[in-house]
């Protein structure tokens, strides 16, 4: 019996106890956005410190201007073998609206469903359940062999759900302590419950607020309508020029650095069985929208976008008020793909609006955040080990997918630690993250635990870098 086989057997036998520990973790209401829960956020971090210390790690919480960051180290079996950095987060979103939950959000409940039992609770999958997949894999190796097969550093933060404001500076300050060969990020999804996935593309983002300022004060629409510039009229007309009739973004230079998706990738994505009708039907739609002439997955994973997230100005209360507003505003987000420079996109946004400035008006443009898109190498030895470990558990090769959203920590680890990431997770698209009745299938939890255990053995087999 190989070292990994005995660990996998033990993990199967210990799964009920693993679920008990998982439910204990979920009962801690570690809501990072609400200052009233700061003590609970720290308690969740300390719970993880205690768990990791019991598995032979040196673990501690490190204070930041916000919530603490956990760092833990395990030396592995000794020698100069691979060194892995595992990332996750222990904070969760608020549970509101509470009345839409079938059970109290911090009283985790096991519910029988079509695909077997699932746990319903806030944080069930995002990200407490995902963190437990590698924590329990560590426990299996420690219990069976008294050590772990490779050197491991663990980084688990408590501010991910608030945008990780403390993390970039923390990574820079702790760069030496966080040195590793590769990062393993477990905060993504499987393709489906039977098919594992590794995420190889993440979109970045630029987020701005634009305000068009016109008259010196709000105006009576009867006295000034037709004679004075109306910023709301002007802004909405300009915003309508952001896309052409084929859905292409008209910001100057927007596509200059975008690399066309390879024919190989496009062909592979078409074999995944993506059901566009079901995907849209779940949100009450029938027809996809966006850049014309491209498959939905291509638009979601490998093409940049520009979307309005809010428009306001003037009077929006009950009843009528005949006013021409002195200014009008909109929030705008651009999802970026690898090779696009966020700063160039911001400059293009400024150029787009300034070129359309109406007479007697001026723009105020606020930047709220920017991060680059990420493309992960798929041919590295570490990626090969991850693929092999997943196949061992699922009995099929993982699919390589993209994610339309952003995970800023991946770019920050590239920038500040020089680390590439392997993004493998075990959630499903219907897990209702950030929504009432968030859930995690126990089958997914078990597959995640077993997969991480098998991947550790494959990583160890790589030897020293």
CA distances to 104, 141, 221 from 374, in Å: 37, 32, 49
328: confidence class by pLDDT, cuts 50, 70, 90: very high
My answer on whether 41 and 145 are in the same domain is: yes
Give the phi and the psi of residue 239 in degrees, each rounded to 5: -60, -30
Give the end of a domain, one of 371, 394, 423. Answer: 371
**pLDDT for 464:** 46
Contact between 371 and 411 under an 8 Å Cβ cutoff? The reply is yes
Interval 45-83: pLDDT, tens: 999 999 999 999 999 999 999 999 999 999 999 888 899
**pLDDT for 408:** 85
339 occurs within a structural domain: yes
My answer on whether 354 and 312 are in the same domain is: yes
Give the end of a domain, one of 371, 388, 423. Answer: 371
Q: Which residues form the domain of 331?
A: 204-258+304-371
DSSP characters for 215-251? SSS-EEHHHHTTTS--HHHHHHHHHTTSB-TTS-B-S
My answer on whether 254 and 115 are in the same domain is: no
- The count of domains in the chain is 2
266 occurs within a structural domain: no
Contact between 32 and 92 under an 8 Å Cβ cutoff? The reply is yes
My answer on whether 322 and 431 are in the same domain is: no
297 occurs within a structural domain: no
Give the end of a domain, one of 319, 343, 371. Answer: 371
For CA atoms 95, 101, 104, 105, the dihedral sign is: negative
369: confidence class by pLDDT, cuts 50, 70, 90: confident
103 occurs within a structural domain: yes
Contacts of 260 (CB under 8 A, 6+ apart): none
My answer on whether 365 and 403 are in the same domain is: no
What is the domain-level CATH number for residue 183?
3.40.630.10
The Cα 130–Cα 119 span in angstroms is: 13
My answer on whether 192 and 208 are in the same domain is: no
My answer on whether 151 and 12 are in the same domain is: yes
My answer on whether 74 and 185 are in the same domain is: yes
Interval 220-276: pLDDT, tens: 999 999 999 999 999 999 999 999 999 999 999 999 999 999 999 999 999 999 999
Contacts of 397 (CB under 8 A, 6+ apart): 387, 390, 391
Interval 137-184: pLDDT, tens: 999 999 999 999 999 999 999 999 998 999 999 999 999 999 999 999
**pLDDT for 465:** 43
Cβ atoms < 10 Å from Cβ of 359: 7
Query: In whole numbers, what is the pLDDT of the chain averaged over residues?
Result: 96
The Cα 193–Cα 443 span in angstroms is: 8
Give the H/E segment covering residue 342. helix 342-354
pTM: 0.88
């Amino acid at each position: 019996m190989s070292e990994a086989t005995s660990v996998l057997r033990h993990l199967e036998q210990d799964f009920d106890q693993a679920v008990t520990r998982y439910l204990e973790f979920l009962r801690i209401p570690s809501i990072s956005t609400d200052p009233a829960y700061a003590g609970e956020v720290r308690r969740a971090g300390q719970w993880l410190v205690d768990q990791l210390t019991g598995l032979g790690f040196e673990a501690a919480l490190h204070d930041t201007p916000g919530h603490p960051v956990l760092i833990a180290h395990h030396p592995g079996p000794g020698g100069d073998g691979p060194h892995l950095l595992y990332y996750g987060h222990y904070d969760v979103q608020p549970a509101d609206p509470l009345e839409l939950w079938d059970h109290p959000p911090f009283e985790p409940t096991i519910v029988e469903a079509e695909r077997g039992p699932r746990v319903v609770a806030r944080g069930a999958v995002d990200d407490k359940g995902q963190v437990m997949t590698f924590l329990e894999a560590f426990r299996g190796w420690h219990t069976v062999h008294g050590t772990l097969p490779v050197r491991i550093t663990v980084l688990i933060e408590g501010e991910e759900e608030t945008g990780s404001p403390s993390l970039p500076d923390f990574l820079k300050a702790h760069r030496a302590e966080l040195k590793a060969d590769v990062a393993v990020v477990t905060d993504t999804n499987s393709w489906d419950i039977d098919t594992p996935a590794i995420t190889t593309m993440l979109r970045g983002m630029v987020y701005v607020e634009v305000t068009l300022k016109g008259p010196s004060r709000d105006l009576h629409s009867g006295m000034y309508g037709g004679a004075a510039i109306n910023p709301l009229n002007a802004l909405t007309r300009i915003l309508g020029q952001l896309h052409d009739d084929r859905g292409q973004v008209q910001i100057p230079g927007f596509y200059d650095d975008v690399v066309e998706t390879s024919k190989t990738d496009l062909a592979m994505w078409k074999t995944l069985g993506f059901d566009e009708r079901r995907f849209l039907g779940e949100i009450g739609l029938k027809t996809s929208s966006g850049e014309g002439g491209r498959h939905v997955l291509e638009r979601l994973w490998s093409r940049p976008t520009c979307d309005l997230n809010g428009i306001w100005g003037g009077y929006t209360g009950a009843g009528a008020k005949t006013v021409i507003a002195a200014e009008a505003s909109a929030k705008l987000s651009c999802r970026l793909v690898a090779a696009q420079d966020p700063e160039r996109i911001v400059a293009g946004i400024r150029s787009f609006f300034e070129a359309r400035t109406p007479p007697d008006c001026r723009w105020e443009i606020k930047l709220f955040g920017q991060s680059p898109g990420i493309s992960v190498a798929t041919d590295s030895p570490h990626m090969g080990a991850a693929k092999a470990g997943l196949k061992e558990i699922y009995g099929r090769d993982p699919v390589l997918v993209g994610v339309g959203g952003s995970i800023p920590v991946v770019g920050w680890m590239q920038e500040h630690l020089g680390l590439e990431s392997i993004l493998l997770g075990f959630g499903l698209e219907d897990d209702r993250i950030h929504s009432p009745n968030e859930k995690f299938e126990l089958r997914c939890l078990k597959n995640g635990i077993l997969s991480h255990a098998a991947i550790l053995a494959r990583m160890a087999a790589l030897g020293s870098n």
